[in-house]
Amino acid sequence: MPMNKDRIKGLKLLKEKKIKLPPSPNKVELEVFENAYPQRDYWIEFSCPEFTSICPVTGQPDFGKITIQYIPDKKCIESKSLKFFMFSFRNYGSFAEDIVNKVLEKVVKAAKPRKAKVIGEFVPRGGIAIKVEAEYPNEVASTE
């Protein structure tokens, strides 16, 4: 399918030559473009195997792998804006659980996917590894 320029008209970061990294994930908006195949379900997966952040208590670095999987509806996430969003955690103090849920919320807000899942696999510190998974829509039944 030939590229329809209207699909990408709102993208800003991809066209920029010089970009300053954002100081925190709260300052980043994910950019999206039109899904060329909204009539079918298909999975898109992003992998960030060199994810870094810092512990909000100790200030020590945390390392891990973040995987984002989603079935797009009308919009797809532009990868350069996602890269800047993920880089914005480098000097941002946050726990693993917060990071995974913040990434999921940002993906859902920007792209409004049919389904999404974010998996964070963090390198052990003190002998314990942490793996966090968050899904949209939330399929866990309420206990209330």
- Which residue in 62, 73, 76, 98 is the catalytic one? 62
Strand spans (E) along 8-127: 32-34, 44-54, 61-71, 75-77, 115-125
pLDDT score, position 24: 84
Paired sense of beta strands 44-54 and 32-34, if any:
unpaired
* 65: helix, strand or coil: strand
Average pLDDT over residues 9-25: 69
76 classed as catalytic? no
Percentage of the chain exceeding pLDDT 90: 73
Q: Sketch out the chain's domains with CATH numbers.
A: 27-136 (3.30.1130.10)
Catalytic position from the list 6, 41, 48, 55:
55
Is 41 annotated as catalytic? no
Peptide bond connecting 137 to the previous residue in cis, omega within 30 degrees of 0: yes
What mean pLDDT comes out for the span 58-63? Answer: 92
Q: What is the pLDDT of residues 65-120, one digit of tens each?
A: 999 999 999 999 999 999 999 999 998 999 999 999 999 999 999 999 999 999 99
What residues have CB less than 8 Å from 37, skipping those under 6 apart? none
pTM of the model: 0.83
